[in-house]
Structure 1
Amino acid sequence: MLVKESRWEHAGPEERAVLQRIAQQRDRLAARKATYQQVAALRAQASAVSPDAPLIDRVLTFARLHPLASAALVGAALLVGPRKIMRVGVAVLPLLAKLRR
């Protein structure tokens, strides 16, 4: 691809090295973008919560699959208030951590 460009024909060795690094970086960025798009497409197609997935992925998948339950949970959290949520979280999270082991 670089050999076809007119800059490559007139470039010296140093310039060719720079052009080669730029081309490699473009290839890496294009591959990373393709990977991100593939992962996003797979997440969008998820129809069940994977038990091996990270917690944030499980929560997001659950929210996407069950929007009414998620909205009810957020509404209940707003009614209860942040202080009570923190109190309950401080008490419940260590128990959940023990169960997880």
Structure 2
Amino acid sequence: MASPDNHPVVPEPSLEQRKVLERIEQQRERLHARSAAQRQALALRQEQQSIDPEAPLSVKLITFARLHPVAVAVAAAAAIVAGPSRLVRWAGIAMPLISRLRR
């Protein structure tokens, strides 16, 4: 059965069919939102792949920790094994050297 302008007549969906169509539309919206969130997360990860040389030291350290979690864990384990007295002694030697290099 066709209408006068040669387009087939589509019957009005029933109540159950409309509910199904609404659920399908909601699922599509959820999928679009999830894919947009994944794209945004990927863009943020790619943005954080480099360390800005002009950034403050704390930001550089946090970025390094995010990029290299295993290295940070190894350094923390070494600090625990070394103990506080050795760490203070090493810091007393290393800090003047580091401050000279930063100038």
Structure with larger RCO (C-alpha < 8 A, sep 6+): 1
- Counterpart of 2:51? 49
Q: Report the number of matched residues.
A: 61
- In 2, the alpha carbon distance for the partners of 1:96 and 1:80 equals 20
Which protein is bigger by CA-based radius of gyration? 2
Per-residue Cα deviation, 1:6-64 (whole angstroms, up to 9, x for no partner): xxxxxxxxxxxxxxxxxxxxxxxxxxxxxxxxxxxx79941112221111111110000
- The change in CA–CA distance for 1:83 and 1:52 in structure 2 (over 3 A counts) is same
**Alignment counterpart, residue 86 of structure 1, candidates 85, 88, 94:** 88
Partners of 1:92 and 1:55 in 2: CA distance: 16
TM-score (normalizing by structure 2) = 0.53
1:65 partnered with 2:67? yes
Runs of 4+ in 1 over 6 A off after TM superposition: none
Distance 1:95 1:57 in 2: 22
> What SS class does the counterpart of residue 73 from structure 2 fall into?
helix
Q: Which runs of 5+ in 2 are unaligned?
A: 1-43
- The structure with the largest helix share of the pair is 1
Secondary structure of the residue aligned to 2:60 is helix
Tell me the distance in 2 between the aligned counterparts of 1:90 and 1:100: 16
1:73/1:81 CA distance change after superposition, 3 Å: same
Change (3 A) 1:93 1:44: farther
TM-score (norm 1): 0.54
Residue identity matched to 2:96: P
Distance 1:64 1:83 in 2: 28
